[in-house]
Amino acid sequence: MAIDIPTRTDQLPTSATRFIGKAVNRIEDPALVSGTVEFIDNLSLPGMLHCAILRSPHPHARITGIDVSAALALPGVEAVLTGEDVERWCDPCFTAPEGWGNYCLAVGKVRFVGEPVVAVAATSRYIAEDALELVQVEYDLLDPVCNPDEAMAPGAPLVFENRATNVIQSRTYTWGEVDRVFAEADRIVSRQFRWNRVGANPTETFGCICQWDLADNSLTCRGAYQTPRFMGIGRAASLRLPANKVKIISHAQGGGFGGKGGPRGTDIAALLSRKTDGRPVKYIEDRMEYLLAGGGQSWDRYYDAAIALKADGTVTGFKVRLVDDQGAGAEGYGTISAAKPLAAFTGNYRIEAAFYDLTLVATNRAPTYPYRGYGPPPHNLVLESLMDVAARELALDPAELRRRNYIGPEQFPYTVPSGNEYDSGNYAGVLDRVLELADYKSLRQSQAKARTEGRLVGIGVVSTVEPGVFDWNAYATVGVPGVGVPEGVKVGIDVFGGVTVAVGFNLQGQGQFTVAAQVVADYLGVEMNTVKVTTASTDVALPHFGQGGSRLGVAVTGAILGACEKLRGIFCRVVAHVMQTDPEQIELLNGRLQMKGAPAHGMSIAEVAGLMLSRSDLLPPGVEPCPEASFVWVSPNRNLPDDQGRCRSYLTAAAATHVVQVEIDRDTGQVAILGYYIVDDCGTRLNPASVEGQLQGGVAQGVGAALYEEYVYDAQCQPLVSTFVDYLVPSIHEVPMTVKDHLVTPSPIAPLGAKGCGEGAIHTTPAALLCAINDALAPLGLECRETPASPRRLWQLLHDKA
């Protein structure tokens, strides 16, 4: 029987929603503020050992000798793991595209500073680190390739010798009549941009406890796992285990935002457990490990891009050439982040033709991993910056230029040239509201006044689309197969009427447990505090993915609604049987299964569950004594991409426009944010407080990327940032307190009309800030086209001019 997932809240079996759409308190929070949540480092197991990892100090070198004898002799050391063990027991991790992966510990040579070389298991982390100092490794240094130019030069050293090149992938995409629109353009605006490496940096680094059962040849991994099942499959592949012999127990995570160093850390801890006859081994990545090589580096990009315009400001074409420094291989799926912009390549605009020339290059920098937004934030910065340049050249207000090019509200569903279909939107409405909120006219007046005083004040008005609810098909062209990302839940009701929702993921911060409780409580007509949300380990969990790609709030809502619809069907049959009528005569409303037209005749959800569990004699034939239902939700109506990558990929398209006013201190290069205004539209807001939190958190990370954060490498490929002294996560002083409002244009196809919104403002903030900075610089004829726009960079720009 097909299950219809409600796309509107008025389709729910309740007279009025009590929780959905309200800023209810999160069920996660009492334990989190009490300090009692079991983050992985809070857990100890009997006999547990502690792992420390010796990492490469060289970007590129052949390992000619490893002597671990002194380390092994240190009291408290139980095992030492080297590349020899790893080569015997493991395969390199799988990658997209295939064949660009490393082993968890270096085998034969090192490819980046921070690559694990030797690992120790000891009775304490202190002793394990003592042991690392006793390990002798001899290296023959190789010339590193430090950037894409070097990597693509003829005769360049090879990062992977088994490949004949350092180019992981190079291809073009052509969507529509690009040559024609550029040939017919009245104006072409082109610029180059450099986006330097940034990354997730959750407050908790990665950690795990792995235990290898030698008799059963199975592995149990507890840890800070964002995507448990995906992680389990990967471990099975790299550790040569059957997938059903790897069990992942996901603990609550202290933030995610993309990759943590999970695969390597897990494999190393697992092999140390194997080497110590199955003792549990804990590995807690420390912050320096994270910053050097912990899966926290993303988006190392060189852009050359252009837009074609008509004289009236209509943008007709968009060309992007991207060279993306992936670092030492594709283990972290940095490749995907170069493909994701296909989901919203042309942003909020009716641009008829587009072209993407993509070159992914391996270098001896650390491998790149996912980071919130997964690729579009730099892409949006490029497009929006070009829009601003065009506005200046056409002497049009940047807000007006955008308005002229927006996809109209009547044009949805709208297929963008790169193939994805946007579900709904009201971009002009969002713009109108934010201009009103910001009092844009007076912002411009204050800017004009400031300019007469010689001050560098600028305003950014930037619009972006946030693709929500990812699907694998979006990444097919960089080597990821498949259509459909499942999210499974089980909803069960116990004999006392308590509701349990079992999910496949754990807490990470976005509040999905609360969303799950809101949805199930409204559907079943129970109180939220009777709902328990729990995480199933991968051996028993339904197919699931977890957090990622702005999907989980929507996906878990769909899954719960599906399970609840199934439960309703079963309950109607049970109640109809008891009342000796047809199931069609029974309806669920406000938590009661009742006779249509005679609501006095009915039973509560708890009564039905109790009956099912205690009176099998009253059940209709074929109904099991099980008031539980499972449902695995997947985005509806997805399809395979064509040869240009075109498909219906991301299910939803949220939108936002930011207005920001900045001032640059021309003598120090410092940027002050004078005012920040946001209007967004992500359809139905399931928990408005959580949506606002995601937005504001995205602003903070956007501020970091635009102004502060950068993984710097020197000319020999040595990383110069290895502590929080130099990787500048913004504090409360640096992040603006924003003024926000929103529109609600529900998705016609997503569960309850909610759109993915978890990645939020990081799509918009970097572009908004850079546009504002360049607006401030415009009277001087200067442009900053590199991020972060740090004081040093801006001062240099201003100084070179002077």
Partner 1 sequence: MKPAAFEYHAPTTLAEAVGLLARLEDEGCDAKILAGGQSLMPMLAMRVARPDALVDLGRVPGLAGIRLHDGHIAIGAMASKRAAELSELVRDKQPLFHAATRLVGHQQIRNRGSVGGSFAHADPASEYPAVALVLDMEMVATGPDGERVIPAAEFFVTYMTTALEPGEILTELRMPVLPARAGWAIREVSRRSGDLALAGVALTLRLDAGRCTDVRIAAFGVGATAIRLTAAEDALNGAAPSADRFARAGAIAAASLAEPMSCIHATADYRRHLVRTLLERSLADAAARAG
Partner 2 sequence: MSNRKTIRLTVNGRHYEREVEARLTLADFIRHELHLGGTHVGCEHGICGACTILIDGSSARACLTLAVQADGANITTVEGLRNRETGQLHPIQQAFVDAHGLQCGFCTPGFIMTTLELLGENPDPTDEEIKEALGGNLCRCTGYQSILDSVRLAASRINTATAA
**Residue 445 touches partner 2, criterion: CB under 8 A:** no
204 binds partner 2 (CB under 8 A): yes
SS3 at position 559: helix
Q: How far is the CB of 735 from partner 1 (least distance, A)?
A: 11
Close Cβ partners of 674 (under 8 Å, ≥ 6 residues apart): 457, 661, 662, 663
Find the part of the chain contacting partner 1 (CB under 8 A) among 249-257, 281-289, 351-359, 691-699. Answer: 281-289
Q: 488 is in the binding site of which of partner 2, partner 1, none (Cβ under 5 to 8 A by kind)?
A: none
Does 377 interact with partner 1 (rule: CB under 8 A)?
A: no
- 201 is an interface residue for partner 1 by CB under 8 A: no
244-303 residues in contact with partner 2 (CB under 8 A) are 252-257, 286-288
Rule CB under 8 A: is residue 136 a binding residue for partner 1? no
Tokens 């946007």 belong to: 422
For residue 522, what is the enclosing H or E element? helix 512-524
Q: Which two tokens stand for residue 702?
A: 């956007």
Complex with partner 1: residue 397 or 726, whichever CB lies closer:
726
Smallest distance from partner 2 to CB 704, Å: 9
The answer to whether residue 19 forms part of the interface with partner 2 (CB under 8 A) is no
Residue 130 engages partner 1 in binding (rule: CB under 8 A): yes
Of partner 2, partner 1, none, which one sits near residue 130, judging by CB under 5 to 8 A according to partner kind? partner 1
Give the strand order in the sheet containing 671-681.
456-468, 652-664, 671-681, 739-742
> Is 36 one of the binding residues for partner 2 (CB under 8 A)?
yes
The CA distances from residue 429 to 347, 401, 646, 676, 755, in Å, are: 16, 15, 28, 18, 17
Q: Is 712 in the site for partner 1 (CB under 8 A)?
A: yes
Nearest to 220 by CA among 36, 35, 43: 43
Which residue of 11, 15, 30, 408 would you call a contact of partner 2, by CB under 8 A? 30
How many CA atoms within 13 Å lie on the side-chain side of 333? 22
Residue 720 site contact among partner 1, partner 2, none (CB < 5 to 8 Å, cut-off depends on kind): partner 1
Per-residue burial over 168-181, b if 16 or more Cβ lie within 10 Å, else e, is bbeeebebbebeeb
Per DSSP, the three-state class of 324 is: strand
- According to the binding rule CB under 8 A, does residue 357 interact with partner 1? no
Q: Measured in whole angstroms, how far is the alpha carbon of residue 664 from the centre of its chain? A: 31
Binding segment (CB under 8 A) for partner 1, from list 87-95, 123-131, 381-389, 454-462? 123-131
| 689 touches partner 2 by CB under 8 A | yes
Contact between 57 and partner 1 (CB under 8 A)? Answer: no
Residue 792's binding partner out of partner 1, partner 2, none, with CB under 5 to 8 Å set by partner kind: partner 1
Say whether residue 41 binds partner 1 (CB under 8 A).
Answer: no
Would you count residue 23 as binding partner 2 (CB under 8 A)? yes
Order of strands across the sheet with 301-309?
A: 167-175, 353-362, 315-327, 301-309, 187-195, 786-787
Of 117, 735, 749, 767, the residue at the interface with partner 2 (CB under 8 A) is: 735
| Contact of residue 146 among partner 2, partner 1, none (CB under 5-8 Å per partner type) | none
| 693 sits near partner 2 (criterion: CB under 8 A) | yes
Q: Lay out the site mask for partner 2 across 87-126 (x = CB under 8 A, - = otherwise).
A: ---------------------------------------x
Nearer to partner 1, 203 or 668 (CB): 668
Nearer to partner 1, 405 or 701 (CB): 701
Complete DSSP assignment for 608-652 = HHHHHHH-GGGSPTT--S--EEEEEE--TT-----TT--S--SSE
CB of 410 or CB of 667, closer to partner 1: 667
- Per partner kind, with CB cut-offs from 5 to 8 A, the member of partner 2, partner 1, none near residue 708 is partner 1
* Helix runs in 427-495, H state only: 427-438, 440-452
DSSP-assigned beta bridge partners for residue 535: 503
Query: Strands 116-122 and 531-535: what pairing?
Result: unpaired
**Helix, strand or coil, per DSSP, at residue 659:** strand
Beta partners for 66?
A: 137
Q: Which of 273, 304, 269, 263 is nearest to 284 (CA)?
A: 269
> The dihedral of CA 101, 107, 113, 114: what is its sign?
positive
> What's the farthest any 2 CA atoms get from each other in the chain?
91
3-state secondary structure 68-115: CHHHHHCCCEEEEECHHHHHHHCCCCCCCCCCCCCCCCCCCEECCCCC
DSSP letter at 120? E
Residues 501-530: x where in contact with partner 2 by CB under 8 A, - otherwise, as a string: ------xxxxx-------------------
Q: Which of 3, 18, 22, 32 binds partner 2 (CB under 8 A)?
A: 32
Closer residue to partner 1, CB minimum distance, 54 or 330: 54
Is residue 720 part of the contact set for partner 1 (CB under 8 A)? yes
Using the rule CB under 8 A, which residue among 240, 441, 615, 799 binds partner 1?
A: 799
Q: Which stretch binds partner 2 (CB under 8 A): 136-144, 382-390, 731-739, 770-778?
A: 731-739
Q: Tell me the two tokens of residue 557.
A: 């809502």
- CB of 140 within 8 A of CB of 64? yes
- Which of partner 1, partner 2, none does residue 205 bind to, with CB < 5 to 8 Å depending on kind? partner 2
Binding site partner of 255, from partner 2, partner 1, none, Cβ cut-off 5-8 A by kind: partner 2
- For every residue of 736-759, DSSP letters joined together read ---EEEE-----SSSGGGB---SS
With CB under 8 A as the rule, give the number of residues binding partner 2.
59
Which CB sits closer to partner 1, 177 or 734?
Answer: 734
442 binds partner 2 (CB under 8 A): no
| From partner 1, partner 2, none, interface partner of 297 (C-beta below 5 to 8 A by class) | none
Q: How far is the CB of 736 from partner 2 (least distance, A)?
A: 9
- Rank residues 496 and 724 by Cβ distance to partner 2 and give the closer one: 724
State the residue for tokens 């990009």. 301
User: Strands of 136-141's sheet, edge to edge?
Assistant: 109-110, 61-67, 136-141
Select the binding partner of residue 215 from partner 2, partner 1, none (C-beta < 5 to 8 A, by kind): none
Q: Which is nearer to partner 1, 104 or 122 (CB)?
A: 122
**Rounded to an integer, what distance in angstroms lies between the CA atom of residue 310 and that of residue 300?**
32
Q: Is 789 in the site for partner 2 (CB under 8 A)?
A: no
Q: Does 780 bind partner 2 (CB under 8 A)?
A: no
CA distances from 439 to 431, 583, 675, 777 (A): 12, 57, 11, 22
Our measurement of the distance from residue 455's CA atom to the centroid of its chain's CA atoms, rounded to an integer in Å, reads 38
- Contact between 288 and partner 1 per CB under 8 A: yes
Least Å distance, CB 660 to partner 2, is 14
Span interacting with partner 1, options 97-105, 327-335, 636-644, 791-799, rule CB under 8 A? 791-799
For the CB of residue 205, give the shortest distance to partner 1 in the complex, in Å. Answer: 11
How far apart are alpha carbons 453 and 776 in whole angstroms? 13
669 binds partner 1 (CB under 8 A): yes
Q: What distance in Å separates the CA atoms of residue 221 and residue 213, rounded to the nearest whole number? A: 11
Q: Can you give the binding site for partner 1, defined by CB under 8 A?
A: 125-126, 129-130, 133, 286-288, 667-670, 708, 710, 712, 720-721, 723, 725-726, 728, 730-731, 733-734, 790-792, 795-796, 799
User: Which chain residues interact with partner 2 by CB under 8 A?
Assistant: 23, 25-26, 28-30, 32-39, 41-42, 44, 126, 200-205, 252-257, 286-288, 507-511, 689-690, 692-693, 695-701, 723-725, 729, 731-733, 735, 737-738
